[in-house]
Structures are given as C-alpha cells and as structure tokens.
Structure 1
C-alpha cells in the first residue's frame, strides 16, 4: 500500500466517482489525505437558551419517538425526529434524506448539527454527528467541493484513506527545516487538519500545512532554476560592447538610470554561458521597447538572430516602424511577420530567417508556426508575456539552440507576488519614467456630471487631439445595468459625429476589422474610438490625449492603470476621466487611488490589498500557482521564509544529494513526471 496508489483502491470509488474526484484534482490516496478543509464548523453542543434565531449549532438529546418519513411532491420528502433536549422536546427535520430514518432508535442518544429556529423551537437538520454508537466530534471540516462530489462523500473518503494509509505518510520537508520552524510532521498535519480535537490544533496544523505547501512549490521553482541555468543549457553571446555604445549614442534622448541598469543586467546574462530566463517589468511608458532594441542589437553584433513576439498585429507593426527607424544607419536587417503578411512576402521572410539574412524579426503568433525556421536564434523576447501561454513561449525558444529568453510586462507585479508568479525567473525592473513624459491628470466624475467631461473632450478634439472612450460591455444586458459600447457609440456619434470621425471597436469583431480600425485611429483618420478593453495592451497613439472610462468601478485597479497608460504618450497634456457611480466602499476606494497616484507599483500593491491574489491577473493570464490552502498575500511572511529556505538548500546542495533529502527528491521526481517537466 502507498499514497501514490490510485484513489480507486478506496471503498466506493469506481470509474464514475474517480472521474468526479479528478475534477477536484484528486487522483491518488495521497491527494485525498492532503485535500484539506478550508474552514470548520464548531460542533460543540450549545445551550438553546443562549442560541440566536437561524444560528447554526449542535444539539444533543434523547430520541423520544421513532423517526417518521413524510412525502410531499414527486421526489421530495422529509424525516422528522423528536429529541428530548434538557427539559423540552425539539422537532428536527431533514429534507430529502430518507435513509436517515434508520439512524434514530427510540431511547438512544443523538447529536445533530443544523439551523435553529428560535421562534418555532425547531431545527432544520444539516448532519447527524453522532448516535449511541459513536462520539460526536467537536469540529467538522468543510471541504471545497463541486457539483460532482458531495461533502459527505469526501468526508468518508478522507476517513477511509486515513484508516488505510496513515502509517505510510512520510515527511517530505527535511527534519532540520521542521525543527527550525517548529513544524508538525506530515502525519500530524494530516490528522490535525482533518480530525482536530480543538480549534488550537486545527490552527497549528494549518500553520505547518501552509509552510509545507509553499516550501514544496519553492523547491520545484529552485529545481527549475538549476536546470535552466546549467551551462549545458546555456548560450554565451559575446556581443560587441563598442557597437552597443555607438547605437546608444545615436538615441535622441538619454537613457534613464533604470534603463541603463536593466540593460547591464540583461547583457551580463547574455554574455554568461548560463541560460537567461529574465523578466523585464516596467510601468506603462517606462521605456521597455528601447531596452529590447539595445539587447537585440547586442545579439546581432555576436552574429545571432533575435525574435520579438507581440500579441497583436498593430503592435507588431508599430515596433517594426520604430526599430526600422532606429537601425536605419546600422547594418541590421529587420523583418515583420504577422497573419497579414502576404504569401509572397512570407516566403521571402522565411527564406531569410532560415539562411540568416534576417537579423531581427518582429511578429505575432505567426513566428511559432512549424514552417518558420531560424539559422542561429540567440535571443527571444516576449512582449506582454502574460498574453502568451507557456507552451507558445516554449515553441519559439525551441526554434533555436536554447536561446536566451527575455519576457516583458507592463503590468507591475506587487513584490508580494513576484516570488510566486515569476519565481523561476530573474527580474529586472524599470522603476522610473523617462524625462519629458507628460503627466496624466485623472479625475472621477459621476454620471450626472457627464456634461463637464464631454466639455473636456470637445476642447481636446478642437485642438486636433484624439479620444479613447472605454466601456466594459459589448451589447445590452438585462442583468447588469452598465453603459454598453453600442449605446455609447451612438451617444458620442450624436455629440461629435458631425465634426469628427467616431468608430466602435470590440472583441467580437474579426481580427482584420479590429486591426483596420486601430490602424485608422493610429493615423488620425478616426478621432473618437469607442472600445471595450481590447485596446488595453500596447497600442501607441501619441496624439490621443483623453482616456474616458465608463463604469470605471467595474474594472480592477491594474486594468484601469493599463488603460490610462494609452494616453500621455505625446508632448501634450493628457487626461483620464473615470465615469462611475460606485455601489460600495471598495469601488469608491479604487476611484480615489486612481486620482491620487500614477505609480503602477503602488497601484498594483493596492489592487492586491483590495482584491486578493486570485483576481489580480485573471485566471487565464496569471501564471500564478493554485495553492490549496496557503494564500500568498495573507501568508506572505511564511511564503518568504519558505522561499529563502528552498534557495538555501539548493545553494548548499544543488542536486539535493544528501540522504536526508531522499523523500524530497522523490517528491520532485514524481511532480516532474506528473507534469512532463518542472516548468
């Protein structure tokens, strides 16, 4: 018997239930044992004289009459049982659980947990805690379940798994680490989490379980770093430093100190024989693109090719135009490869990439198609990396012999999340804006003040500038009373359409339609762009000076900040107008934060504080691990300790070869096998 045995070895688990359990991530006996409650119901018996109406509580008494099943409707029934509790009789009713009738024998004692109706002196039963033959627990774990698995089923499976395999639970956290942080053994954690006798025991077990979960995650991250940074996996790029200086001297502005620092960090990584896996994060408008250009040129001077992958065709074209201008006087051949590239041009570009004639290629997902080959790919840069999946990044990397990887993001990562979201990467941060960047004046207006906001728009349009108008919905919704894009388009067209071109952009349009509208907006053929959040990332329209966001309280702070960053890119003053009637304090707080600061890192920290870690990036984009019991925000001190501990272990013993690490090595090997590789 072993914890790695399939869950089907437990009683009552056939193919159908096995599939249902898999939907909770439970596939082995060990998964059952380490699937912990997220809270506990206090089952200690309460004096009914002190009980509040509709309170959930436990009563204990003697069954005074046989239980009765009453049926009503086709498939509905209730079990009624009378209990003598102290000096009164209480009627307890269970709905649609007819099998409970046989649990109650007249004259026997029973403990029942349920909702108390003080006015009627009755209870709606939720669970039978104990009868004559069993003791009532004082705490009951409540587990995260879904429509496929009942709470009671999971509780029974945990009991069965404990009875079968308690003796087989081995410690994966090394004993020295457990001793240092005064942690329970794995067996004590499992018992304390599932079957605590007191709230204190449950709390102590959770403390150890949280450290264990973070520690195991961080050891996987460190193992991945060791693998990534091995010299056998790396590529040394001996770039020409003089050529780099010559390029930087031609720039029409001086790099900020932060830009200089991150260029040095990235170039040092490229020159070393270790594999580079680095994240470049910087606020909107902090100058990440010029850093990318410099380090791509570094690769070119060493006779390597560089690839820059971006999420949209419009953004790819903008990067291509900027880099073509930047490298006009340098011996660098740049190509643009997107879905819009013609068949004839595509054929030439692919041939130049395969022969090495092209030095730098900028493109979208088109870069990762099977028939795109490189002669000598040395550097891969992913812009707005959260828009691409891990596999997409891998495909592009695999087109070279372990090229260095630089991922870029304009979404500032709160320090509290960086070690979970990007734990396997080295992080470079541009934490200052270039000189001359125009400040953005942010104001918050309620809908009844809209006329003032429209006056600002009118003034800016008259000055020859352009306007973004953003709304969260595409079409009318009966459930949510929000200003929608189609209605907003009609309203603004009515207000400004006689003098200016107003257009509508949303995610349900075809890609070529969206690209055409963005192109026309970029070229000032469209002056007012009504859009959903598809404009959030990367679009550069220096002539746009107003960002107006309707129902702004429906957006997260990070998203509002990204949208605001679409303006203020030219030489004119810029404005962000938040239109919102917040329904709660959190909405009001978000509006205040936006009007008080333009610092993306402060905003990211505040967003984390207001919304919690799970909502910051959105499930599909987050890259954040799903912790079962730990919370990276609430348990940050523990996360930090676990990370430092894991780093220390790998520094002292990079392969964890010492005998005391054998269970940890076995765990990491199982994890690697389960996911194909540690990344």
Structure 2
C-alpha cells in the first residue's frame, strides 16, 4: 500500500547514490519530494518584441534569415551567430561556446529560441533552442547541488506526482480555504511544479506559504499549551511588600515598566509555569523589572537564578543587585567559570541547602555539580546569546521553575511570531525619564582626524570614551583595524593627558575585570576594546562610543554597542568609522544615523541580512521555511498565526470533523517536525 511517507528509493532510478544526494537536500520520502518546490521558472511562452523589457529572458519564434557563422577564439571559445526574422525584424542571435548547434540551424526554417534580450541592439544572447512541441510553457528550476541536477529532481517529481497524487489531502480546514480563496492541496502541488503560466504559479505559491505558516503555528500553539499544562510554582507574594520595595527605588518606574511588572506578577501567582520573554531597548530598564520579580519570588521562600553570557556582566549584575537589595534579607552568590575552587566549594553547599537566595552567574549555573534547594525563578539575560540546550538545562535545575528570558536586542514582530510564539511576550517600549537620544554620526576613515577635537572636548569635560574594533591583533588576510594598533594610536594622541586602557577576550578574567573596574572608577578615560563590552556593561559617565570598521558589524550589534553610552543625563555620541564598499553597506550605516529605535534597527537588520545572520541559527532556533519568508510574507504569517490561535482556543477542536485531516497531518509530522 502506497504512502506519502514511502522512501524516495521506491521511485524508478533512485539508487543509493541518488538517494544520498537527495537526502543532502532534505528529501527523504515522497512527501519531501512533492513539497520540494522550484525557486524559479523559465517562461517559454513566445513574446512579442514590443512587449519585452531590456535584459529579460524570453522565447522568440522566427525564421532563420541568414547562414549561421561560427568564429573560434583559442581552442575552446567560440561564438555562433545568425539572424532570426521576427515579425519583419532581424534579431541577431548569439550562442557562446556551442558550435555544434550550427547543424540544427537551416536557413528558412522556423525555430524557437530562448535567451536574454537586448532591446537597444535588437539582439538575443541564446541559452537554448526549443522544440516546437514544448510540453510545458513554464519550466521549473529546482535548488540542486553538485551531486544531483535540477532536471533529475524535475523528473523524479513528475514520477512521484503521477504515482502518489491521489494520496494528497487537504489539512487546512475547508472553511479557511474558502475564507482566504486558497487552492486545495493537490492543486497547490501540481501548480507549484507544473504551472501553465505565471499566474498559476503565483496563486499556488500564495497558498503554499499560508499552509506552511499555518501548520507551523498550529504546532507552536500546541507547544505553548503543553508548557502551560505543567504544574508550575505558584509564587504567593505579599503585594504590600512589593509596593514598598518599588516605592523606595531611587526613580519612578515608567508606564511601560509598570505594565510589564503587572504581567509578570500575574504569571507568578498562577499555578502554571511562567514562560515569558521580556524585550526592551538598550537602557529601557529591564533589570529593575526582573529584580521586582526576583524579590517577589525570594520573599515567598524560593530561590532565583540569573544566568548571563559573560563574566563581566555577571559581576556587574551581582554588584548592582547587591546594592539594590542592601537593606533586605537577601543572600546573594556569584558563580562563574573563574570562581576559585575554595569559594566554589563554600558556595555550592549553601546553594543546595537554601542559604543562598539569589545566584548570579554564567553557564556555570547549569553544570552538574550545581544543585538548587527550591528554584522558583530562572532569569536568562541576553537569552539569544545562549544555545537552546543551555536554556533547557537551566529550566531542568528545578521542578518547573518560572522562566523569564530577557533580551536587549529588540525582536521584530516577524521573529517574535516564528521563534517565540510558544512564549508570552512583554515589551518595554519606553525609555526612562531624562535620557537623551544618542547622536550618531558616520565618517570614513580618512576623516577621522577631523573628529579628534570633538573627542578631546568630551575628555576635557571629565567624560569617558569607548573605542571598539573587530579584531584583537593585526591580520594580513583581513583589512580591518585592530585593538592593539588602535590602543597605540590613542596613546599617542591622548596618552600624555589621559589614561588609555585595552580590553579584549584573550585576556585572563582577572585582568579583564580589573580593567573594567578601573574604567568604572574613572581611572581609565579611554577604553579600547573588542566586542566583549557589547552586552550589559553600564558606565554612566561614558558619553562617546567610537566604532572602527562599523560596516563589519550587524546593525543589531551596532545598536547594542551604541547602548553602552547614553546611560546618564549628559548628551552622548556614537561615531561610526566605516568605508563600505557597496550601496548596501552605506544603507546600513545610514540606518544607524537615522534612528535610535532598536525595533526599527532590528527590523532593518532583518530585512538587509536575513533572520539567520541576525540571530544565528544555532542559538535562535529560527525555523527554515520551504516557501514562506517571515520578513516579506509577514502579513500571511500574522494571519496564519491568528487562525491557528483561534482553532486551538476551541477545547473540542480535535474532535470536530472539520479538523480531522489537520489533526492527522500534525500527528504524521510528529516524528518529522519543522519545530525540531
């Protein structure tokens, strides 16, 4: 009995070699093959000369009006030229390095030629000579590799469709198909692979995008429900104590912070596991919101773990939170990779028996020897910097602890829908009162000396400066400035008046911490650094950020770096030094100059670089869709999400006859899942 899950080697001509080549493209079974869609089509419809756009690939029909001539250049290079009479116009057709075609070209005969048209010269750069009996006017072109050709995939798809098309079924409910004027699944598969024209191909692709997003969102929402069915830790905190804590803060919460605090507090009181993503721009005050949740959890008799990506940030959080909780009975511990053995041996038993309320650290928090007494809340700062497995490991350190993940890389709605659809999302979209936007400028490297008076002016005011570079040492292979060279340059410029420090990832942790502390205490006025200062470092007296080779950073990373300044009341500046080699690079620099809004920066980064480059596939867990693009197809994605949520909200959706095929499809995919 045939099934769509049959392996591809059930098809004729698919031996071990072809099966292996298909597997490398993600094609293991018949369903994979039928949903391995073309990325473009060659349109072989004959076009009128008056309707052709310059540079367009077209098919012309005409009579050979002269004798074809072949000219050779060396042993392997040649041109074959002939004239083609098309509607009383002679078009010069040229084929490169295909002299054997001359035998097919008999003067007076009518032929079909496919190639790229030049309207100014009335000429065609030939690609292929077509048969008069072209079986399909739209030829599908498939993504392929060196082990298998596009035409081989095309033949296998044709065979698979002929033998299995009767097994293709609609899993999108019929009412949704009608509501959005979608095609039925068998029609989608046919028209994606064998369309008669562009309109058919576009209609099929529109439906395929919706179907793919809809199925993904159904699975994502089911994951969310599964998370919520786990018995979570209910935090029964004292509301008046929380209010008193908020009142004694040295500043007032913004309205956005108040709203997010309410969302988190409500989650903590529920008997299901909190799984919330808190996102907000650099300096928007996420840490204080997390601190309120920490306080509520600790006052209820539970422990809190705060995991951060770097030791510098861990130490900074430990100092800041110790100061924030200094008048409260909260016992704080710090655990990182460089924690000395003696200190570690003293700390771990205290953590295990409950004598530490708040533990702050790096990935050291999830190592096997680390045991918790009553872990009630796990906070993950800059969560996209951790791999999926690291985040899971922290969750497993307790019995379904509440989870608050934070990121200062604002995630566009597109990625929030695809990557964090199983989490509740809170957004802080308001900056603390009194903060001035950082003024950003972009200059080319040859203009840097013009900026020296401005830098000197900031230093003379007693303010400090970050100088960031991509590399630690000089590299002959990459033409980029490096930290050590720039350190020497700044020492020669300002070393007689101001202290210049150097910080990079190859230093020992003790040395890095010492330099960072010296900068915080204003013993260092200019800190030349690699991107180790990208995340979380907070020195309010630093008012200028200079970034060399800024075009070698992503926009989201540049925004993170810029966020290291502007944290006090003084006006701050960011100077981008870059010599982009193309228009795209110039656009990216201009985005940074034009806006301080992290959500806009992040969206532009997504549009210019793609989701994989923006967040890193291995860490972000971003899905790879076959036809849909979460950026350009965000409207379809949003609609698909809303419809999936609507169905999942119905408690009896799985027993409704209209959803029987949808349930079947989800179950079929459970071992071969796009969420894996």
The answer to whether TM tops 0.5 is: yes
2-side partners of 1:57 and 1:136: how far apart?
17
CA 1:240–1:304: 2 relative to 1, 3 Å: same
- The 8 Å contact of residues 469 and 531 in structure 1, kept in 2 or not, is answered as yes
Return the alpha-carbon distance in structure 1 between the equivalents of residues 81 and 440 of structure 2: 64
**Residue 569 of structure 2 is aligned to residue 532 of structure 1:** no
Given candidates 392, 401, 409, the residue that maps to 1:394 is: 392
Quick one: distance in 1 between partners of 2:287 and 2:108? Answer: 80
CA contact (8 A) 2:540 2:568 kept: yes
Report the aligned-residue RMSD.
Answer: 3.8
Contact persistence 1:649–1:656 (CA under 8 A): no
Could you give the per-residue CA deviations for residues 4-46 of structure 1, whole angstroms, max 9, x where no partner exists?
A: 1222223333334333333322222111111212222221234
Bigger Cα displacement from structure 2, 612-621 vs 555-564: 612-621
**Aligned partners of 2:84 and 2:93 also within 8 Å:** no
Residue 489 of structure 1 corresponds to which residue in structure 2? 487
Corresponding residue to 2:326 among 308, 328, 332: 328
Worse-matched range after superposition: 207-216 or 519-528: 519-528
Note closer, same or farther for the CA distance 1:389–1:115 as it changes in structure 2 (3 Å cut): same
How does the TM-score come out when normalised to structure 2? 0.88
Residues 61 and 83 in structure 1, CA contact (< 8 A), matched pair in contact too = no
Cα distance per residue 1:190-243 (max 9 Å; x no partner): 11111110111111111111111111111111111111111x443322122233
TM-score of the superposed pair, with normalisation by structure 1: 0.87
Q: Residues 77 and 97 of structure 1 are in contact (CA less than 8 Å); yes or no, is this contact kept in structure 2?
A: no
Query: What is the correspondence of 1:42-57 to structure 2 with a 5 Å cutoff?
Result: 42-46=43-47, 56-57=57-58
Instruction: Kindly indicate whether the alpha-carbon contact (under 8 Å) linking 2:80 and 2:99 is maintained by their aligned counterparts in 1.
Output: no
**1:273-293 residue CA offsets vs partner (Å, 9 max, x unmatched):** 122111111111111111111
Is the aligned partner of 1:499 residue 2:497?
Answer: yes
Kept after mapping to 1: 8 A contact 2:388/2:620: no
Distance 1:53 1:442 in 2: 41
CA–CA separation in structure 1 for the residues paired with 2:637 and 2:307: 33
| In 1: Cα distance, 2:498 partner to 2:436 partner | 25
Q: 1:391 to 1:633 in 2, by over 3 A?
A: same
1:363 alignment partner, one of 346, 361, 364 = 361
Is the partner of 2:256 in helix, strand or coil? helix
Distance 1:612 1:383 in 2: 24
Q: Does the residue aligned with 2:139 lie in a helix, a strand or coil?
A: strand
**Any idea what the Cα deviations from partners look like across 1:607-629, whole Å, max 9, x if unmatched?**
44555555443444544322221
Structure 1 residue aligned with 2:425: 427
CA distance in 2, matches of 1:281, 1:601: 10
Partners of 1:572 and 1:48 in 2: how far apart? 65
Inter-partner Cα distance in structure 2 for 1:166 and 1:613 = 34
Distance in 1 separating the partners of 2:223 and 2:154: 36
2:141 equivalent in structure 1: 142
How many equivalent residue pairs? 672
- 2:653·2:659 contact (CA, 8 Å) conserved in 1? no
SS in 2 for 1:278: strand
Q: Distance in 1 between matches of 2:122 and 2:285?
A: 69
| CA shift in 2, pair 1:81/1:208, >3 Å | same
C-alpha separation in 2, matches of 1:189 and 1:208: 7
| Map of 2:159 onto structure 1 | 160
What is the alpha-carbon distance in structure 1 between the residues aligned to residue 511 and residue 107 of structure 2? 75
Distance across 2 between alignment mates of 1:372 and 1:52: 67
How much has 1:248 moved relative to structure 2? 2.1
Correspondence 1:34 to 2:35: yes
The question of whether the paired residues in 2 share the 8 Å contact of 1:83 and 1:91 is answered with: yes
Q: Are 2:412 and 1:411 aligned? A: no
More moved, 142-151 vs 319-328? 142-151
Deviation at 1:550, TM superposition (A): 2.6
Mapping for residues 452-467 of structure 1, pairs under 5 Å: 452-467=450-465
Q: Report the CA distance shift for 1:446/1:72 in structure 2 as closer, same or farther (over 3 A).
A: closer
Contact kept? 2:91, 2:123, Cα under 8 Å: no
Tell me, in whole angstroms, the C-alpha distance in 1 between the residues paired with 2:594 and 2:124.
52
> 1:285 & 1:515 partners in 2: Cα distance?
22
Which residue does the alignment assign to 1:442?
Answer: 440
Q: Secondary structure at 1:432's aligned position in 2? A: coil
CA contact (8 A) 2:79 2:97 kept: yes
Answer whether contact 2:55 2:116 (CA < 8 A) is retained: yes
Q: 1:391 Cα shift? A: 1.3
What's the offset of the Cα at 1:81? Answer: 12
CA 124–514 in structure 1, closer or farther in 2 if over 3 Å, else same:
farther
| CA-to-aligned-CA distance 1:318-370 (integer Å, 9 cap, x gap) | 11111112222222211111001111221222212221221111110101112
Alpha-carbon offset, residue 656 of structure 1 = 2.3
Give unmatched runs, 5+ long, in structure 1. none
Give the drift of 1:310. 0.3
